[in-house]
A and B are shown apart, each in its own frame.
Chain A
Amino acid sequence: MGTIKAENISFTYPAEEGKKRSLVLDGVSFEIEKGSFTAILGHNGSGKSTLAKHFNCLLIPDTGKMEVFGIDTKDEDRVIDIRKRIGLVFQNPDNQIVANVVEEDVAFGPENLGYPSEEIRKRVDQALKTVGMEKFAIHAPHLLSGGQKQRIAIAGVLAMEPECIVFDEATAMLDPEGRRDTMKIIRYLKKEFGTTIVLITHHMDEAAQADRVIVLDSGKIVMDGAPREVFAQVEKIRSLGLDVPAGTSIIYELERAGVDIPIENLTVEECADAIYNALA
């Protein structure tokens, strides 16, 4: 069964006076498998974040059907059942931290779900360990770096033990090290807990690590496939206001200049191997 299933969903924000409404999501259909890692790409305004807000009932489609864990998001009585099981991590960690002590912040979610205190203790310790921040349990969040704060925000989501986590441009404000740490946590969650991961990002090198890449443009899905298939279509990706990893660009240019080289390479190592084999 799919974790998230969208059937022909469309969505429009309420129009302001004197302005015309435009479709933000325009007939989107897809299914995300349990335990998979999907990246969603698209330029600013393509509808990515609007789509993410449909996953945990922050928004409900105007038409079409959105199902999460087999529950229709329109069913108001079951909103809490969905939100318990799917976590969202946003761009700005400062907007996601509510408490003055790290461990209290991480405990906020399970406390609200009414778990007994031993269970909360266990979950908070485990979550902080997973993100490598157990040493900071009694620190003040505002004195941490951006990357550390984002790890606390992720721990807060983990303490809910969600089956699926949506990262909405969660690395955009982080330095390279913070981004690497976040990606490492994502891979760990998928591997150790089988967590379903949805990653919304502008960084092509992050998307390249996913099992599947979905590209949105003007509220429609325009590309959907394995990263190496999607990024091999260099011209199409660029025409959508996006880019391919730098290594793929080099290979693309070499190929255009007549070098016999396969374009389906993404990581720095793969690209170096392919170039070496083609030229040496």
Chain B
Amino acid sequence: MKSAPGQEKSGQKGMKKLDPILEIVDLTHTYSQGTPFEHVAVYNINLKVYKGEYLAIIGRTGSGKSTLIQHLNGLISPTQGKILLNGQDINESKETLRQTRFKVGLVFQYPEYQLFEETVYDDVAFGPKNMGLDKEEIDRRVRESLEIVGLGQEYYKASPFDLSGGQKRRAAIAGVMAMEPEVLILDEPTAGLDPEGCREIVENIRNYRERTGATIITVTHDMAEAASNADRLCVMGNGKIALLGTPEEVFARADEIEELGLDLPEVTKIMILLKRKGLDVPTEVYKIDDAVSALLKLKGGRNGA
């Protein structure tokens, strides 16, 4: 089998342990099987997600990324193959499935549409209450997760519907964080927000990861955002994993990314153009600061010569 880059060298950037927390084994999912609408959404996927890593899944609409992540906390079950959480098949029994729902938290797209309680505090407390925790523990978790997303005590009694768009989104994410999942999965967490709102959400996710050491999986269209935050990128196309590796490894394969209908980060595009023009610059760069220092180094080199 042809293995994608980065599959086995994932101990790089900031990963403390090499143990997989989630293993996706030979996963295939077919919708409406046996009907004229039969459609294979993901096909024979193998992927290990390591403890504490930040993995970004990227792909255009219809590439199978949402289908993939819905398997990870047992919302849908595989047509073929299995999902292992800490080595155990999550679909083995009702109890393993129930435990998985607490250990793997899934934040849907536009989660603010799912706020429903009368106060922000009650909304965030809903998940931990369902876990059967005692009152003090629930209180601790609600306070901590609201702190992580930057909503102070003054918001506890507010109606979630009176918050701004960005605040609503953060309150909804806090609701999942309060279950203290070992794996936090977020589907398009920054979609539709302004640049400031995006920065805040990204910061909140980083904060949760630092405090809890949790594994983070995000699904996004935004290459630049994925690259600046994730340890590894998993690029999907036509229900399969097309590219897997560190951002540098993935961006080194620019042509394949564009063939998959995805956009390279603007910074990378500029560096590729400069290289074509004959400047000796690295092309796998995706951060503004890195591009600037590479360009300044070039200038310095020239002046010195």
- Chain A residues close to B by CB (< 8 Å): 42-45, 91, 145-147, 169, 172-178, 202, 204-205, 241-243, 245-247, 249-250, 253-254, 257, 259, 268-269, 271-272, 275-276, 279-280
Which residue of chain A is the closest to B262 with respect to CB atoms? A176
Q: Given that A173-B191, A177-B60, A202-B195 are contacting pairs, would A268 and B269 also be in contact in the complex, using a CB cutoff of 8 Å?
A: yes
Q: Across the interface, do B221 and A44 meet the contact criterion of CB distance under 8 Å?
A: no
- Chain B residues close to A by CB (< 8 Å): 60-62, 164-166, 191-197, 221, 224, 261-263, 265-267, 269-270, 273-274, 277-279, 288-289, 291-292, 295-296, 298-299, 302
Bound: A174/B262 CA distance, A: 12
Bound: A268/B258 CA distance, A: 15
Bound: A164/B21 CA distance, A: 53
In the complex, which residues of chain A have a beta carbon less than 8 angstroms from the beta carbon of B165? 44-45
Instruction: Find A269's partner among B62, B224, B263, B273 (CB 8 Å cutoff).
Output: B273
Q: Across the interface, do A280 and B277 meet the contact criterion of CB distance under 8 Å?
A: yes
Q: Across the interface, do B279 and A276 meet the contact criterion of CB distance under 8 Å?
A: yes
In the complex, which residues of chain A have a beta carbon less than 8 angstroms from the beta carbon of B262? 176-177
Q: Across the interface, do B61 and A178 meet the contact criterion of CB distance under 8 Å?
A: yes
Cβ distance A100 to chain B, nearest Cβ, rounded Å? 16
Which residue of chain A is the closest to B166 with respect to CB atoms? A44
Which residue of chain B is the closest to A177 with respect to CB atoms? B261
Instruction: Find A272's partner among B60, B224, B274 (CB 8 Å cutoff).
Output: B274
Q: Given that A145-B62, A250-B291 are contacting pairs, would A275 and B194 also be in contact in the complex, using a CB cutoff of 8 Å?
A: no
Bound: A145/B166 CA distance, A: 26
Q: Given that A241-B194, A268-B270, A268-B273 are contacting pairs, would A257 and B292 also be in contact in the complex, using a CB cutoff of 8 Å?
A: yes
Bound: A177/B197 CA distance, A: 23
Instruction: Find A276's partner among B221, B277, B299 (CB 8 Å cutoff).
Output: B277
Cβ distance B238 to chain A, nearest Cβ, rounded Å? 14
In the complex, which residues of chain A have a beta carbon less than 8 angstroms from the beta carbon of B267? 246-247, 250
In the complex, which residues of chain B have a beta carbon less than 8 angstroms from the beta carbon of A249? 288
Which residue of chain A is the closest to B286 with respect to CB atoms? A246
Q: Across the interface, do B60 and A176 meet the contact criterion of CB distance under 8 Å?
A: yes
In the complex, which residues of chain A have a beta carbon less than 8 angstroms from the beta carbon of B269? 268
Which residue of chain B is the closest to A180 with respect to CB atoms? B263
Q: Across the interface, do B263 and A43 meet the contact criterion of CB distance under 8 Å?
A: no
Q: Across the interface, do A44 and B62 meet the contact criterion of CB distance under 8 Å?
A: no
Q: Across the interface, do A279 and B299 meet the contact criterion of CB distance under 8 Å?
A: yes
In the complex, which residues of chain B have a beta carbon less than 8 angstroms from the beta carbon of A202? 192-195
Bound: A242/B194 CA distance, A: 7
In the complex, which residues of chain A have a beta carbon less than 8 angstroms from the beta carbon of B195? 43, 202, 204, 241-243
The A/B interface has a contact count, at CB < 8 Å, of 104
In the complex, which residues of chain A have a beta carbon less than 8 angstroms from the beta carbon of B191? 172-173
Bound: A182/B264 CA distance, A: 18
Can you identify 7 A-B contacts, CB atoms within 8 angstroms? A43-B194, A91-B192, A202-B192, A243-B195, A246-B267, A246-B270, A259-B299
Which residue of chain B is the closest to A244 with respect to CB atoms? B195
In the complex, which residues of chain A have a beta carbon less than 8 angstroms from the beta carbon of B292? 250, 253-254, 257
Q: Across the interface, do A246 and B288 meet the contact criterion of CB distance under 8 Å?
A: yes
Q: Given that A45-B164, A246-B267 are contacting pairs, would A279 and B295 also be in contact in the complex, using a CB cutoff of 8 Å?
A: yes
In the complex, which residues of chain A have a beta carbon less than 8 angstroms from the beta carbon of B60? 175-177
Top 6 A-B pairs, shortest CB-CB distance:
A272-B273, A246-B266, A241-B196, A176-B263, A43-B194, A172-B192
Q: Across the interface, do A275 and B196 meet the contact criterion of CB distance under 8 Å?
A: no
Cβ distance B205 to chain A, nearest Cβ, rounded Å? 19
Cβ distance B263 to chain A, nearest Cβ, rounded Å? 4
Bound: A145/B39 CA distance, A: 14
Q: A175-B61, A272-B270 are in contact. List 6 more A-B contacts (CB 8 A).
A: A173-B191, A173-B192, A177-B60, A204-B195, A243-B195, A279-B279
In the complex, which residues of chain B have a beta carbon less than 8 angstroms from the beta carbon of A174? 61
Q: Across the interface, do B164 and A247 meet the contact criterion of CB distance under 8 Å?
A: no
Q: Given that A146-B61, A173-B191, A279-B279 are contacting pairs, would A44 and B270 also be in contact in the complex, using a CB cutoff of 8 Å?
A: no
In the complex, which residues of chain B have a beta carbon less than 8 angstroms from the beta carbon of A279? 279, 295, 298-299, 302
Cβ distance A173 to chain B, nearest Cβ, rounded Å? 6
Cβ distance B302 to chain A, nearest Cβ, rounded Å? 7
Cβ distance A64 to chain B, nearest Cβ, rounded Å? 26
In the complex, which residues of chain B have a beta carbon less than 8 angstroms from the beta carbon of A242? 194-196
Q: Across the interface, do A175 and B221 meet the contact criterion of CB distance under 8 Å?
A: yes
Q: Across the interface, do B221 and A176 meet the contact criterion of CB distance under 8 Å?
A: yes
Q: Across the interface, do A276 and B274 meet the contact criterion of CB distance under 8 Å?
A: yes
Q: Given that A147-B61, A253-B288, A257-B296 are contacting pairs, would A247 and B266 also be in contact in the complex, using a CB cutoff of 8 Å?
A: yes
Q: Across the interface, do B273 and A205 meet the contact criterion of CB distance under 8 Å?
A: no
Q: Across the interface, do A275 and B270 meet the contact criterion of CB distance under 8 Å?
A: yes
Q: Across the interface, do B288 and A44 meet the contact criterion of CB distance under 8 Å?
A: no
Which residue of chain B is the closest to A48 with respect to CB atoms? B194
Which residue of chain B is the closest to A280 with respect to CB atoms? B279
Instruction: Find B277's partner among A169, A172, A246, A272 (CB 8 Å cutoff).
Output: A272
Q: Across the interface, do A250 and B288 meet the contact criterion of CB distance under 8 Å?
A: yes
Q: Which of A178, A246, A247, A269 has the most CB of B within 10 A?
A: A246
Cβ distance A276 to chain B, nearest Cβ, rounded Å? 5
Bound: A250/B294 CA distance, A: 11
Bound: A205/B222 CA distance, A: 13
Which residue of chain A is the closest to B276 with respect to CB atoms? A272
Which residue of chain B is the closest to A267 with respect to CB atoms? B266
Bound: A268/B279 CA distance, A: 16
Bound: A44/B190 CA distance, A: 13
